[in-house]
Amino acid sequence: MLQLALIRILETYFRNPILYLIPAISLTIFGLIATAVSSTKDQYVTGMTIHIRPNELIQKISISTDRSQSEFVTSSQLMASEMWGLLDTKPFMDELIERAEFDKPEHWTPYDNNESIGDSILNGFQTIVLTDNQIVLIMTYENYDLTAVLLAEIFDMYLDHKINIALEDTANANRTLVALVDNYEEQRNLIEAELRAYIETHPAPEDISLVRRDIEIHQIERLETALYRADESYADAKNRSDATSLATTTIESSVVQSYIIIDSPIDPVPITGTVDRLRGAILLSGAGIGLSIVLLILVSFLNQRIMVPLDAANTTNLPILIMVAYDSSQEEQNLLQRLLPVFAKRKRIRSRQSILK
């Protein structure tokens, strides 16, 4: 039975070979055309590994909405979250595009073009948290020269952001301390003036054998104690203000030293592009071949005509003595019509003989 099926399939194919090759040829041509005109650009990838010094970064606790649980955020997770938050803002993305020096077309509209470029950058950027203090930054982009540049600029702009935040916090703290110093100085001056005025209005007795009254002694001691405390508060606030002002000059180096580059950005490596397009064309060609095979099998089994001698023998249950070439003339058609009843009669006789046996 399998032999007959294969023979019928081959006979069906060789009778109209071009017809059954049409699906395969069509899909192959379509795949090649799609590959040639495809707008898919080559993609390149690069990456870098960052180690975050835990002693330089403030750990953060975020409280869940029900306030029943606390989730600890590691240094790497915090950095990844902050970078994604920055990339999702338009000012940061616009500055990144300016720094990367994209080639601007003749009719450049910053809003529309920055939006499309920004979407490509967002889709290509990835962060992988390795440990609590190590993170991998990955950039995938369609331009070989800009792939590594974009990744380096994103990291540099993140450092600038951290430096600006530290400077702003330090400036706010410095302003608070300066105001505190002025307040303590004013209080100190008031207490000192009050002590001086009290001593002038209550001078010491001229006779050395006499002493001040107890109430005067207590008042002077109270004012001297308040002046001493005001001097200490003023000195402490002044020292903290001076330290904060001095720390402002080292903030940039402290932030930069907190993020150590373990692996610098590697040369971009192509990952998609021509190979993917060729793979698509090959898949389409394979689909066309499969469709041709399915079509051929369906036609061979749906066609009930006698096409080969083995098929004729199975259909008539008669031995094949001779094969005559097919002719579509009217005489041959008439001959076949006369012979068919004879074949049918002989078939019935053979059937009766088999029953009698």
pLDDT at 65: 36
pLDDT at 155: 92
Residue 90 CA to its chain's centroid (Å): 18
CB distance 110 to 98 below 8 Å: no
Residue 27 tokens, joined: 């899909």
CATH-assigned architecture of domain 43-174+254-272: 2-Layer Sandwich (3.30)
For each successive 10 residues of the chain (357 residues), what is the average pLDDT?
70 74 81 66 85 57 38 82 90 85 52 68 90 91 86 91 84 82 87 86 72 80 87 86 73 82 82 64 82 81 67 66 60 61 65 61
Question: 275-279 long-range CB contacts below 8 Å, 24 or more apart?
Answer: 276/40, 277/34, 277/35, 277/38, 277/40, 278/35
Element (H, E) at 138: strand 134-141
pLDDT at 49: 92
The amino acid that residue 233 corresponds to is S
Cα–Cα distance, 13 to 111 (Å, whole number): 59
pLDDT at 108: 44
CB distance 96 to 150 below 8 Å: yes
**Can you give the residue ranges of every domain in the chain?**
2-37+273-323, 43-174+254-272, 181-252
